[in-house]
Structure 1
Amino acid sequence: MQVHMVAPQFSLTPSLREYLERRLRHAFAPLGGKIAEIAVRLRDLNGPRGGRDMQCQVSVSMPGMPAVVIREVQENMYNAIDRAVKRAAYRVSRLASRPRLARRQSLPVTEPED
């Protein structure tokens, strides 16, 4: 499982990076073998103006499945990370637990007898 973090125009402190890595490890540990890549983008939408403007976007890629992309905006980045990672992990676990369409298509088709 590869993790990429991007924080353009936002100060990604070592403590925030460590917190994010810990949350990702904890949330995706049960699904680690199924996940190819996780990309996290952190942004301060309003800059120095303040307000509810910290955005965390989590994108999860798994082989043979559609990507899961979750965006969460909160007043502080720690809350945005918590909510986005939790929602992404829930969505990925639901997607991974569904029977794959390929399995259904591989069943033999029987022709009706006349």
Structure 2
Amino acid sequence: MQIEIHAHGFPLSEALRAHVERRFQFAVGRFEDRVQGVIVRLSDLNGPRGGVDKHCQVQLRLRGLPKIVIKDTEADTYVAVDRAADRSGRTLGRNLQRAQRKDFVSCWVEWR
């Protein structure tokens, strides 16, 4: 699974890069066979003024399903990444379950 990380408005440190890779590998790694790639965009909306402005946008590209986009904004970049990763894993699992149920129902209807 390929994880792309882009930072806008601040330099991407090696520690932050490692944190993002570790969190997303843990969150969506079990679905690795269905995920083509993960794009993580980090940005600092207010720049040096501070505040709740650390934005994390995640795009999950899937095989055979529409892409999933998750967004989170927090005061700390690491917290935004953690929350976005957790939500990505839950959302991906839920969408794959729905797709599997839909495939099962359509297969059962055709068999009948």
TM > 0.5: yes
Q: TM-score, normalised on structure 1?
A: 0.87
Instruction: Give how far 1:28 is off.
Output: 1.2
Q: TM-score, normalised on structure 2?
A: 0.89
Instruction: Give how far 1:7 is off.
Output: 0.7
Instruction: Give how far 1:45 is off.
Output: 0.4
Instruction: Give me the whole-angstrom Cα distance separating, in 2, the residues matched to 1:30 and 1:109.
Output: 31
Q: Which residue in 1 is equivalent to 2:110?
A: 108
Which sections of structure 2, spanning at least 5 residues, go unmatched? none
2:56 alignment partner, SS class: strand
Structure number with the higher strand fraction is: 2
Aligned residues: 110
Instruction: Give me the whole-angstrom Cα distance separating, in 2, the residues matched to 1:22 and 1:42.
Output: 15
Instruction: Give how far 1:3 is off.
Output: 1.2
Structure number with the higher helix fraction is: 2
Alignment of 1:92-103 (within 5 A): 92-98=92-98, 99=100, 101=102
Instruction: Give how far 1:90 is off.
Output: 0.5
* RMSD over equivalenced CA pairs, Å: 1.7
The percent identity for this pair of structures is 35
Contact 2:58 2:70 in 1 (8 A): yes
